Structure 1
Amino acid sequence: MKWIYIVAGIALYIKFLILPNPAPVLMDMSIVEAVVQDSGVPNAVSGIIFRNRLYDTIFEVVVFTIAIMGAHFLLANERPPATVYQFTDQPSIVLARLGATIAALVSIELAIRGHLSPGGGFAAGVAGGTAIGLVAITSSPEWMQAIYQRWRAAILEKVSVLIFIIFAVLTLVGIELPHGELGALASGGVIPILNILVAIKVALGSWAAILLFIRYRGLL
């Protein structure tokens, strides 16, 4: 069997060396212009992520969900530490919370306008998770856990994933919202909604991971 693999590999390399590659058929307009025209959003990256490569984005969201569930499963049997390491000096606390405020505002901006300018749902979720992490290292773990449960963040995270998958499936089968005027806030069809859903999912998933590492590791 080993010789079959070797012969197949040699034949494949001979094919690469001998057979010519067909010249690509280039369109009159650039690829970026084609993506913008097809998706209805100026941010071609968002158009590719939430339209041209929507299958990939669906599974990226699912993989992130599985990663959070896996972290919870692996740490569930560990004993929580007696000490949680946090910032205690007032200047560090002030700077961390100031950074959290800025990161939260950036997260909202990227989630709402990610289809119009550089950014998008994943970047917005990372910024939101950063804001939550900065608050976590300056606040009581019990207070963070109480807020997480009060706002039912775990349920909201799972609901955002389900809604994302539903909208993505509708888009893949050809059911789309009107694109609207290019460059307007309410444009791009379902892409702004998917951006916001991804931002919520990533931010709340990061919050869940932060709480897990604080509870079972005593630090971030």
Structure 2
Amino acid sequence: MKWVYVIAGIALYIKMLVLPNPELELSDPSIIELVVQDSGVPNAVSGIIFRNRLYDTIFEVVVFSIAIMGAKYLLANESPSCTIYQFNDQPSIVLARLGATIAALVSIELAIRGHLSPGGGFAAGVAGGTAIGLVAITSSYQSMQDIYQRWRAATWEKVSVLVFIVLAVITLAGVELPHGQLGDLISGGVIPLLNILVAIKVALGSWAAILIFIRYRGLL
């Protein structure tokens, strides 16, 4: 049987070397122009994620929520870590806080303008989670936990998921907000709102995961 695999591998290698790759012949207007026209946002990637492939995006958000819940319940029976590793030297703390500030500003920019330029909700959420992580490795666990509970971050995370799902279902049902003027900040219908909701969800979910791993592992 292994010879069959060897022959198949050689045939595939010859195919890649000899036979040309088929080229997709696009007629005017191009697919990108159609996506932009259909979604009303210059960022065609956002148009695809939050419109053409909205089903996939819904389940991506749900899977991320399940992953955070799974980390919480899988580690719930373990004893909290006695040692928490953090930055103690002042230069590292200053650099981490500076990086957190920059990451937070980038997160806000990507969330608000993700439908106009490269970026979007997931990228904004990752940048926000990075900012929170940099603050976490320079602050005490208890202070981070107190802020998380004081601002009810867990509740806002769940609300953002529910609102996202509701707006996505309404959009899939064919109800859309006006697209507005292409290129304006307030344009693209519901896509900017979905961007912001995903950013909130990913950032707050990352915050929850960071607190969980600090508590039970002592490491980020």
Q: TM-score, normalised by structure 1?
A: 0.88
Structure 2: which amino acid aligns with 1:112?
Answer: I
* Structure 1 CA distance for aligned equivalents of residues 167 and 192 of structure 2: 11
Structure 2: which amino acid aligns with 1:206?
Answer: S
* Structure 2 CA distance for aligned equivalents of residues 26 and 204 of structure 1: 42
Matched, 1:66 2:66: yes
* Structure 2 CA distance for aligned equivalents of residues 140 and 209 of structure 1: 16
* Structure 1 CA distance for aligned equivalents of residues 75 and 188 of structure 2: 41
Aligned to 2:113: 113
* Structure 2 CA distance for aligned equivalents of residues 81 and 71 of structure 1: 15
* Structure 1 CA distance for aligned equivalents of residues 163 and 188 of structure 2: 18
* Structure 1 CA distance for aligned equivalents of residues 48 and 91 of structure 2: 43
Offset at residue 108 of structure 1 (A): 0.1
Offset at residue 73 of structure 1 (A): 0.6
Most deviating of 162-171 and 23-32: 23-32
Aligned to 2:40: 40
Root-mean-square deviation (CA, aligned residues, Å) is 1.2
Q: Secondary structure at the match of 2:106?
A: helix
Aligned to 1:101: 101
Aligned to 2:79: 79
Aligned to 1:159: 159
Aligned to 1:143: 143
Q: TM-score, normalised by structure 2?
A: 0.88
* Structure 2 CA distance for aligned equivalents of residues 103 and 82 of structure 1: 30
* Structure 2 CA distance for aligned equivalents of residues 159 and 37 of structure 1: 31
* Structure 1 CA distance for aligned equivalents of residues 216 and 139 of structure 2: 17
Matched, 1:182 2:182: yes
Aligned to 2:173: 173
Aligned to 1:18: none
Aligned to 1:202: 202
Offset at residue 53 of structure 1 (A): 0.2
Offset at residue 28 of structure 1 (A): 2.5
Count of equivalent residues: 198
Structure 1: which amino acid aligns with 2:126?
Answer: V
Calculate percent identity across the aligned residue pairs: 84
Offset at residue 83 of structure 1 (A): 1.2
Note the 1:120-131 alignment, pairs <5 A: 120-131=120-131
Q: Which runs of 5+ in 2 are unaligned?
A: 1-22
Offset at residue 27 of structure 1 (A): 4.1
Q: Deviations over 1:152-198 (max 9, x none)?
A: 00000000000000000000000000000000000000000000000
Offset at residue 25 of structure 1 (A): 8.4
4+ runs deviating over 6 angstroms: none
Aligned to 1:16: none
Offset at residue 24 of structure 1 (A): 7.8
Structure 2: which amino acid aligns with 1:93?
Answer: I
Offset at residue 85 of structure 1 (A): 0.5
Offset at residue 133 of structure 1 (A): 0.1
Offset at residue 26 of structure 1 (A): 4.7
* Structure 2 CA distance for aligned equivalents of residues 120 and 59 of structure 1: 17
Aligned to 1:134: 134
1:24 to 1:131, Cα distance in 2 relative to 1, 3 A: closer
Q: Secondary structure at the match of 1:57?
A: helix
Q: Deviations over 1:55-103 (max 9, x none)?
A: 0000000000000000001000000111111000000000000000000
